[in-house]
Amino acid sequence: MNTVSLALRNLLRNRRRSLTTLLAMVVGLVAILLFGGYRSNIIYGTQTGFVQQTGHLQIQRRGYFLDGGDNPTAYGIADYPRMLARIRQDPALAPMLVIATPTLQLGGIAGNFAAGVSRSVMATGLIPEDRNRMMQWNDLGVVSYARPLPLAGAAEDTVVVGTGVARKLQLCALLDAADCPPVAARSTPDGAALPDDIAALSSLEKAGPAPAAGHPIEMLAATARGAPNVASLNVIQASNMGIKALDDVYMAMHLAQAQRLIFGAGTPQVTAILVQLKHTAQIPAAREELGRLLAGHFPDADLEILDFDTLNPIYRQTNEFMDSMFGFIALLIGVIVLFTIGNTMSTAVVERTTEIGTLRAMGLRRAGIRRLFVCEALLLGLAGSALGVLGALLIAYAINHSGWSWTPPGYAYAYLILVRVGEDLPLLVGSVAGMLAVTLLSAWWPARRAARLVIVDALRHA
């Protein structure tokens, strides 16, 4: 017979009250875990998406991220092949590295002059094989929506565009019928407004070698010297990019094609080197090593290293938003549980006042009384936590297999509703620890009051 045994029997003495308290804890913990699991899924999913697209770190010319988005030629990195070789050979980086690959961002106007339409696009010049490898990164084990680019192994003039771009360019064969309303229903063709010189350039391009099979378009961009340049391209796929704003401007092309468009016969450059690591937690170490490497071998390059958190502000904003929601809900539930347990323990103290006096008279110290009530609350907390975790795991399993989906604001297609409870150990441990802390906190005051009862008064209690 010890404190734990006595505490357990006291809990079983009033089973209905203990059960009600337990139920409040279980419901509270299940709610916290399910919302936490939902939050984790969103945050981990968002992180995975950004790491697949932008890598963990990017090496850019200083100022490009803030000011150079529309001017790639002013912030180009010419020495990138040597940089890539150094990065891949670095003995400290190599174990952390999944891939390092160059990219060139450029803006331009894509036109389907046969249909008389055009639109502004943001194009990414990339090495398809490298990018497809980046798409496979899924260290957090989420449901990935990334699909490999079909550019790998395709001709250099092939491109992939967002469905919004394809719709605008009337590339209806690449789209579902519902996504491509008939031309008659649309506004006046943009092609009529094309400047003469661009139309002339286009006709020159058309006079060149026959393009590969696909859906031909033209891409107009400004070269490094400010002159217009046009490339004939073949759209081989329209991909839904998820976010509509991106879907309406997206274009992916071979890096060599993008470099020819911007730099012509000059030295090809890139706007960034993407570095993808095995684990997100390796960012600080990799960043430090990259900084050392660049400072040592490319001291005059004026480069900076940016992490995906900086490159994608929406990731941080999403994190903060979800964290604040989770914190608010956890706080509400914590307060409810706090008062529920506190009320239960206070009632127990009142009911057992004479018993407390008897135990004290027999020689149980104040600390012993305090320990007894705290132990009762702790047992409740442990049972509530165990049942809460079990309940949350079962409900999470049901949700994850239900096929429920929703379309987040600003997104172009629906995402499965998933909750990561079992896979998120920090969430599980943190929530259970929080629940136990709330339990102990709520029991502390009644236990202290019980311990401080005057023995003779307690014995007189009816």
- Interface contacts to other proteins, rule CB under 8 A: 1-2, 6, 9-10, 12-13, 354-355, 357-368, 455-456, 459
Instruction: Find where tokens 């998406």 sit.
Output: 49
Q: Name the minimum Å distance from CB 444 to other proteins.
A: 19
CA-based torsion, 354, 355, 356, 358: positive or negative: positive
Long-range CB pairs of 191-196 (<8 Å, 24+ gap) are: 191/111, 191/113, 191/115, 191/116, 191/117, 191/118, 192/116, 194/111, 194/113, 194/118
**How many angstroms separate the Cα of 97 from the Cα of each of 60, 89, 225, 292, 457?**
18, 10, 36, 16, 71
* Identity of the residue, 260 or 352, whose beta carbon is nearer to other proteins in the bound complex: 352
Nearer to other proteins, 280 or 358 (CB): 358
Q: Are 261 and 219 in contact (CB under 8 A)?
A: yes
Given a contact cutoff of 8 angstroms between Cβ atoms, the answer to whether 76 and 302 are in contact is no
Closest distance of CB 455 from other proteins, Å: 4
Q: Which lies closer to other proteins via its Cβ, residue 301 or residue 364? A: 364
The tokens describing 285, both together, are 């170490």
Q: What totals of helices (H) and strands (E) does the chain contain, helices first?
A: 16, 11
Q: How far is the CB of 12 from other proteins (least distance, A)?
A: 8
| Burial (Cβ within 10 Å: 0-12, 13-18, ≥19) of residue 219 | buried
Spatial CA neighbour of 355 closest among 328, 373, 339, 343: 373
| Angle (nearest 5°) at CA 257 between 251 and 260 | 125
Min separation Cβ 454 and other proteins, Å: 8
* Minimum distance, C-beta of residue 1 to other proteins, in the bound complex (Å): 5
Measured from the CB of residue 319, what is the shortest distance to other proteins in angstroms? 49
As measured in angstroms, the least distance from the Cβ of 11 to other proteins is 9
Q: Which residue, 326 or 373, is less far from other proteins as judged by CB?
A: 373
Nearer to other proteins by C-beta: 202 or 353? Answer: 353
Minimal distance, residue 374 CB to other proteins, in Å: 17
CB nearer to other proteins: give 299 or 363: 363
Nearer to other proteins, 225 or 365 (CB): 365
CA nearest neighbour of 103 among 54, 44, 51, 154: 54
Measured from the CB atom, is 6 or 175 closer to other proteins?
6
Q: Locate 332 and state its tokens.
A: 């509400």
